[in-house]
Structure 1
């Protein structure tokens, strides 16, 4: 009988990713794997254990309430898995403690027969607020008792932490699971209009804190550093708690605040656009505070309607001696949707060279003053100056020790009015310097490229999306995994058009792009109708518009298992040409920090797997021929196989890469 021969686990501060392999192509009779999380003390003694949560039932069963069982009831029919409840509790919107030491026990299971060791199932429960008591989780269909087919295999021990010196890396939960949101919002028996948004907007709200995870505490901890000053460059600013955080430290704050958002209304039959709609309230409040708070300095940086944006979201801490000590950056906008409605990352870098690079850039931004238009008006002639552009053409490089290096890039980094040539140009566009560097590193990838992006470009062209896919197409030994938020950025996107006979063809993008070694998925629910069915009639307004950038990350990871050659890139940069030519941006590239690269890889895989699962649900619904209006009910149907044939369809490439070949 084949056995599990390798098993490895990797984690960031939120989730773990597990992979294992067997010494053959198939375990006869195997219906999947039972996985148990073991908590260990410093002496490696088990202090607690818990079977992982499972939501997908066997064929013939249904899980209409989307309550979890565990892998002793519904085993994992894959050779890799992500532990979503490592920090996020399965029965309530609360986080488990950080900095725990865990490992995983994995065993193959099959239908229980005489002579087999049975899988003992711990009952999963939830607290029913209406009945005011704890009740068991239920599902529809006849139970399928399971027994063990193999001896247990154990992963390595991992620490569930954000601390990877000199980095503290955190990730938001965002609105990934609409099913979970439906359940928690319905606990009082009804879902009110704007209930979700009100949760996300309210400081210290239990659901907001759950979805924002460790990002908000990281921001507070950053500003808790004693003495000195903070130099911030922000794009969107509308979150009440974060505005209060800036106000609390205003006496030692230098803030550059860009414009963000616009609104339209009809005036005398004409459409009038008001710019800076999103930031205007915070801007007004902070300017008033600056007049009464000694030490608080604030500068507006307005590109309103010019095609440029001040897209940075970073803060530098400078000590009392004027020495830059640390920097906070990442993809998270200072908005309630950025904190709790989207997939984002926020990272602290406690390195003087990195902090000095950001501080010097901040001073260049301050010197590059833009004319401030009248309130709400369009900015005329707004553009970054040549002095700023020239200074940003080369990176600041730093050595962090132990073979780790860091590059900090700032854009736009092409002087004058240099832009990519038009599609009709005879000569292809030369990449801007920061993108050229990313492309160069990607071409050196030996085993894997992972990415998670919002909207780098239309159709993924002139961005890391096209580069990654083209590299994967040319080298089938290269694993390429990606998640994209905006349908326009999806590989294979087709813009709306009109045929010769005048027929209008709407824009279209595939859910996935799939080859043997390439899997790219876009962030999507099954359909908008499904989300409405799950969250109520306010969903299209509240969720789809609130979380337009469902994935707001800008992350690239290369060869995370290679200690010397691993690369991780992050920041505000959308990783396409436009960000380099048009926006205030920062891009950090770290080489040789394996723990950081693996933490970001786990985040990418978490987001990717969620939306890949959504795509599989859609495929299953389509195969069953469910009508569009009934698609929401099809998703609760079980699709775990009751035979061992699932192993022949299960992809093993990623599992073998992560488990170690």
Structure 2
């Protein structure tokens, strides 16, 4: 019986996401062969590359995790991520961007003499037919190939330049790289030794284009840079500041009590700003040099309520006009660059940059009392009333495509939100846009609040619950942020019930997962050819603060990004920035691809962890030799993205 397949593809500067749909179940289908095809300006194919594949069929094994490709081990899903679009896992070299590609997808079945035979490609195995255990499985094509639309791999979407880290540590490639392919526990300090070292292969791979966009931002001639930073704990980025210090005015806030640091001594966690302390000391020396034009303002809250959470830089030209801003979720730390999922975006728009410059000046004018020692607590330090009042009104900017609304916080009078809080104005605007969503809401969040209350998580789940046609897809970092998290409680007899921390919240059209790794020590053992993975290097795993609404709608698509954690706490208590862009489809697609990259990686791991936590049997780690995989493969994303 004939069938038809439609394919759509999308990309940012790091990853491509493709989805496809068949008009019916394909009898005998064992998956799909996928090729990346490079195109010239006339849409001629200049090179065709099969996508890498690592998971073997049942009866085979890939113990050394060596790559085959999808002509050997096809994709048994209806969506896929091209993770090697820009990066190579065998070396630090990155493939170029500014190229046009499309994807060729073709269904395959077990070999049949009446069908065209699949000839396995051997580019990834040094010409060897196979590098795995078990007999090869011959395949046939079930029909002609289907082709996606052509996509441009770029970080430039005027007036934006978008970059994303590859800071997902729970990958098979990483644990094998750190253990010489043997698996097992990674010795303490081994991973960090790579991640803190400039130009290290793993650091280069995990940081994506983020370090490059930071360097290029400071490479322009003339003008001054006005910076507001939360954390500064990276040798290379600290040098970037010191090398350009004569053109920098920096407001540096404090880090916490060292809970995410590396000090294991008895006094760890008792001193504020321990992570920033070395960089702060070095910058103080520069600021004290005679005749220097570098200025440093210490913004020390040193309490558990307020944080100066910004991570933005504004460039002002020699005429005093704000021209560009660098913002996003990426802290200026080695972990922010390499060990977390993050975004860093440059906006070359005068109106947006001017908004950030005026916000920087408000911070500068809102001076805080300083502690006698930078590590001392300052329990009463908080933002002033004038700052909070001025932040209640957003700035508007008409862009070359779409429009932007720029918010800063805190923008509520109380220093923290009360028991029955009023909705802050920035989130009121965001919730209003969410309520207008037509088909899809996507998000990534760190930890806006427990159970996602008073945040975009609670609002998204509520909207999806009442509208079954609205797809709600997201991923969170902290287990406490899950909508269905239940904290520990005291029983009538004084006993404490254990907290319940689900890995997934899945209900009809809603799918929210939390970051997980194969081999979670509490519940899950590795399976198939998979080794136990690394989950994190610090506290945060997913550190993005992203909301994307209807990314395929040219007029009504929405992207929200910045330092704001997308919950009431950020609006009431913290120095934050939030940009809401409406009607810029290219930007919405780029951010949607990043959300899908992170979500899809953790969705599989979270689902397996949840099954095992419930005592149920999960996936065995191998491809099926039957066509029944189609019956349970998720179709939520393909139903929206395939056009």
Q: Shorter-normalised TM-score: what interval?
A: over 0.9
- Alignment of 1:483 with 2:475, yes or no, is yes
The aligned residue for residue 11 of structure 2 is 11
**Which has the larger displacement, 219-228 or 643-652?**
643-652
Q: Distance in 2 between matches of 1:88 and 1:230?
A: 31
1:309-328 alignment runs, 5 A limit: 309-328=307-326
Shift in alpha-carbon separation, 1:441–1:595, aligned structure 2, 3 A? same
For the pair 1:150 / 2:124, whether they are aligned, the reply is: no
Residues 377 and 477 of structure 1: is their aligned pair in 2 closer, same or farther, counting only changes over 3 Å? same
CA 1:606/1:201 → structure 2, altered by over 3 Å: closer, same or farther? same
Pairwise CA distance, 1:162: 0.5
**CA gap 1:646/1:323 in 2 versus in 1, 3 angstroms:** same
* Separation in structure 2 between the aligned mates of residue 317 and residue 80 of structure 1, nearest angstrom: 40
What residue in structure 1 maps to residue 88 of structure 2? 89
**Superposed counterparts of 1:18-97, under 5 Å:** 18-23=18-23, 25-97=24-96
User: C-alpha separation between the residues in 2 aligned to 1:263 and 1:602?
Assistant: 34
* Residue ranges of structure 2 left out of the alignment (5+ in a row): none
Match of 1:498 in 2: 490
Q: Structure 1 39/254 Cα, relative in aligned 2: closer, same or farther at 3 Å?
A: same
Aligned to 1:209: 204
Q: Does residue 393 of structure 1 match 2:385?
A: no
1:171 aligns with 2:164: yes
Q: Which residue of the other structure, out of 325, 328, 331, is the alignment partner of 2:329?
A: 331
Residue 176 of structure 1: how far off its partner (Å): 3.3
Of stretches 76-85 and 474-483 in structure 1, the one that deviates more from structure 2 is 76-85
Q: CA deviation at 1:90?
A: 4.4
Aligned CA-pair RMSD: 2.6
For residues 546-561 of structure 1, the aligned pairs below 5 Å read 546-561=537-552
Q: How many aligned residue pairs are there?
A: 632
The CA distance in 2 between the partners of 1:621 and 1:59, in whole Å, is 21
SS of the residue corresponding to residue 359 of structure 2 reads: helix
State the secondary structure of the residue aligned to 2:216: helix
SS at 1:262 equivalent: coil
> In terms of mean alpha carbon deviation, does 91-100 or 614-623 score higher?
614-623
The answer to whether 1:641 aligns with 2:641 is no
Kindly report which structure 2 residues correspond to 1:252-651, keeping only aligned pairs within 5 A, or say none.
252-263=247-258, 273-292=270-289, 294-375=292-373, 376-402=375-401, 404-415=402-413, 417=414, 419-422=416-419, 428-529=420-521, 546-618=537-609, 637-651=620-634
Q: What displacement does 1:153 show?
A: 0.8
- Corresponding residue SS for 1:482: strand
Q: CA deviation at 1:394?
A: 1.1
| Aligned 8 A contact 1:342 1:551 in 2 | yes
Give CA-to-partner distance per residue, 1:283-306, whole Å, 9 cap, x none: 110011111161101100000024
Contact 2:551 2:585 in 1 (8 A): yes
Q: Once structures 1 and 2 are overlaid, which stretch shifts more, 567-576 or 647-656?
A: 647-656
| 1:121 counterpart residue number | 120
Q: Residue 610 and residue 530 in structure 1: after superposition, are their counterparts in 2 closer, same or farther (change >3 A)?
A: farther
Partners of 2:352 and 2:397 within 8 A in 1:
yes
Q: State the distance in 2 between where 1:35 and 1:224 align.
A: 40
Asked whether the equivalents of residues 67 and 137 of structure 1 are also in contact (C-alpha less than 8 Å), the reply is no
Return 5+ residue gaps in structure 1 as ranges: 128-133, 423-427, 627-633
Q: Quick one: distance in 2 between partners of 1:52 and 1:46?
A: 16
Whole-Å separation in 1 of the counterparts to 2:235 and 2:130:
37
Answer yes or no: is 1:227 the counterpart of 2:225: no
CA contact (8 A) 1:176 1:610 kept: no
Whether the 8 Å CA contact 1:62–1:638 is kept in 2: the answer is no
Select between 35-44 and 605-614 the one with higher mean Cα deviation: 35-44
Contact 1:178 1:531 in 2 (8 A): no
Q: Distance in 1 between matches of 2:267 and 2:44?
A: 72
CA offsets 1:521-544 (integer angstroms, 9 cap, x no match): 00011344399999xxxx99x965
Q: TM-score, normalised by structure 1?
A: 0.91
Kindly state the Cα deviation for residue 179 of structure 1 after the two structures are TM-superposed.
Answer: 1.4
User: In structure 1, what is the equivalent of residue 635 of structure 2?
Assistant: 652
Structure 2 CA distance for partners of 1:620 and 1:581, relative to 1, 3 Å: closer
**In 2: Cα distance, 1:418 partner to 1:547 partner:** 28
Q: How far apart, in 1, do the equivalents of 2:490 and 2:560 lie?
A: 39
SS at the partner of 1:275? coil
- 8 Å contact from structure 1 (residues 234, 311) kept in 2: yes
Find the aligned partners of 1:361 and 1:490 in 2 and give their Cα distance.
32
Q: 1:631 is matched with which residue?
A: none
1:283–1:340 distance in 2 versus 1, CA, 3 Å = same
